[in-house]
Structure 1
Amino acid sequence: MNDRDRAPIDDTRFGAITVRQDGQDRIEVHGEAVPRVTLERDPAAEADPQIAIGTRDRSHLTMRVDGAEVDLLPAKGRLARHSYRVDVEYDGASYRLVPDSVPSSRLTRDGTHLGDFSSDGDETVIAEWREDRELRPADAAIGYALASAFGTGAQPMWMMIADGVSSALP
């Protein structure tokens, strides 16, 4: 499927945004009002089927915003929601996408809550922006890319422990 066949997402603040995944190797986000973001996994790295981009190992990932490589740091993803956070440094700002409910994750820039993203780790990403925030085009592009690459949301730790205990019982 090429970009002409793919319906762009209609973002409430930034208009049409296209999210495109090439298997688990590459994710690209672009639109008229946002910078182009690419996130690529080293093809030699083994792909984890649970992660859209195939890995949370930063040494196997390269992220670029408008062609400039950025510092990407996905956490390991263990029991706590916070362990699924993904941090990005771009243009003097610190971005973080971190799960805050079962279906969604909160995007912050320098600690300020910008909005919430929902995605199953595919090309369908929903952004709900805070109305009282000044947003930058890079906020949207980075948020869409991270939500698509790593998915959003996570169960609370107590729910994961309860699931583990109940599945271990006869």
Structure 2
Amino acid sequence: MPKDPAPKSTPDAQHAEHEEYGEYGEYGDEPEEQPVVEHVADDDRFGAVTVRLDTREGEVTVTGASVPRVVLRRAAGTQPADHVPIGTRDGARLTLTVDGAEAEVDPAKGRLTRRSYRVDVRHGDRCWRLVPDSIPGSRLLRGEEPLGEFTSEGNGRVAAEWGEDAAVGYALAAAFGTGAQPMWMIAIEMVGDMLPG
């Protein structure tokens, strides 16, 4: 006896299957966040600046025709923290190079105050500081001189308004995110977290 041919998939059957399994799988789960994001920012001053963030390996690379190559890496074997794009705020577990030359990176712990989210970099006779100055944004300083304003949600996409010294600013903004809530908002959230649900 000949076998019946397999039933053809009709649009209605496909729709029912789609509803049963959801757009992303059996339980409708969204796809995992991509561990590597590469974004090309069209910088008003420096042209195309490519920012590559690899959250799994803990690496940020910034390149462009008009900026030095900057690479910031998390040490192998470091347990990554979810709330920091590069995975750690421990400067002893980070290496930074600017055009192949080693630089020192010193992120603060990131506690209650905006200033505690600052990140300092020393390279040769130059020093930079990325420090939050609003909820979404951070300012890049060289000494007391403001160089530019950066925004990044920690997803590898960085926007800048300039100044100079783009590559270091892009790397720090991508690696640590930008902005911080004011202390009074953090305090309210902490009190809310302590109240029974």
TM over 0.5: yes
Aligned-pair identity in percent equals: 53
Q: Check if 1:147 corresponds to 2:179.
A: no
CA displacement at 1:91 relative to structure 2: 3.1
Q: Residue in 2 aligned with 1:42?
A: 75
- The 5-angstrom pairing of residues 5-154 of structure 1 reads 8-24=40-56, 25-130=58-163, 135=164, 139-154=165-180
**Amino acid in the other structure paired with 2:41:** I
Q: State the distance in 2 between where 1:116 and 1:41 align.
A: 25
Structure 2, gaps ≥5 residues long? 1-33
Q: Residue in 2 aligned with 1:169?
A: 195
Q: State the distance in 1 between where 2:182 and 2:40 align.
A: 32
Matched residue SS, 1:35: strand
Are the aligned partners of 1:88 and 1:95 in contact in 2 as well (CA < 8 Å)? yes
CA displacement at 1:163 relative to structure 2: 1.5
> Judging changes above 3 Å, is the alpha-carbon distance between structure 1 residues 102 and 96 closer, same or farther for their aligned structure 2 residues?
same
Larger RCO: 1 or 2 (CA < 8 Å, sep 6+):
1
> Judging changes above 3 Å, is the alpha-carbon distance between structure 1 residues 109 and 90 closer, same or farther for their aligned structure 2 residues?
same
With normalisation by structure 2, the TM-score equals: 0.77
Count of residues in Structure 1 that have an aligned counterpart in Structure 2:
160
Q: State the distance in 2 between where 1:34 and 1:169 align.
A: 49
Are the aligned partners of 2:39 and 2:51 in contact in 1 as well (CA < 8 Å)? no
With normalisation by structure 1, the TM-score equals: 0.89
Are the aligned partners of 1:122 and 1:149 in contact in 2 as well (CA < 8 Å)? no
| Largest Rg, 1 or 2 | 2
Runs of 4+ aligned residues of structure 1 deviating over 3 Å after TM superposition are none
Q: State the distance in 2 between where 1:69 and 1:122 align.
A: 25
The alignment yields a C-alpha RMSD, in angstroms, of 1.6
Are the aligned partners of 2:91 and 2:105 in contact in 1 as well (CA < 8 Å)? yes
Matched residue SS, 1:148: helix
Are the aligned partners of 2:152 and 2:173 in contact in 1 as well (CA < 8 Å)? yes
